[in-house]
Amino acid sequence: MGSNPDIDDTVSSYKKAVEQGNQAQRDFIKQFSNLQQDAMQNFFSMLQGITFYNAMFKTTVQSGGRISIPEAERQALKIDDGDLVQVIVIPIERRRKEPEK
């Protein structure tokens, strides 16, 4: 029995379409992965810049909303009384208040 050229063309076209779809998915995943990698590198570069030129430390909020810069950081950054500094606040843990009785 001979082969049917119309069926062969249809199967060939289907295989080609499936391969093109697979290639498009691989390209998309590769581009998405590259975007994620670039974003992470940018984040770590920014974080490194913050910690390289500045200090990063934890402190407790005191009464009246006051915070203290530890002495070692003040000395390393040459911060004196009255100097203007910029503070970026990232809450880490909230103190749980005891329920009133």
- pLDDT at position 49: 66
Report pLDDT digits (tens) over 18-75. Answer: 999 999 999 999 998 888 888 888 887 877 666 566 677 888 889 999 999 989 888 9
For position 24, what pLDDT does the model report? Answer: 93
Q: What is the pLDDT of residue 55?
A: 73
Position 16 scores a pLDDT of 92
In the chain, where the domains are located: 5-76
| pLDDT (mean) for 78-86 | 91
Q: Tell me, what's the pLDDT at 51? A: 59
Contacts of residue 50, Cβ cutoff 8 Å, sequence gap at least 6: 56
pLDDT score for 88: 79
* Structure-token match 């749980």, residue found: 96
- Beta carbons within 8 Å of 61's beta carbon, 6+ residues apart: 67
Task: Please report which confidence band the pLDDT of residue 94 belongs to, taking 50, 70 and 90 as the band edges.
Answer: confident
**Residue 64 to residue 22: CA distance in whole angstroms:** 61
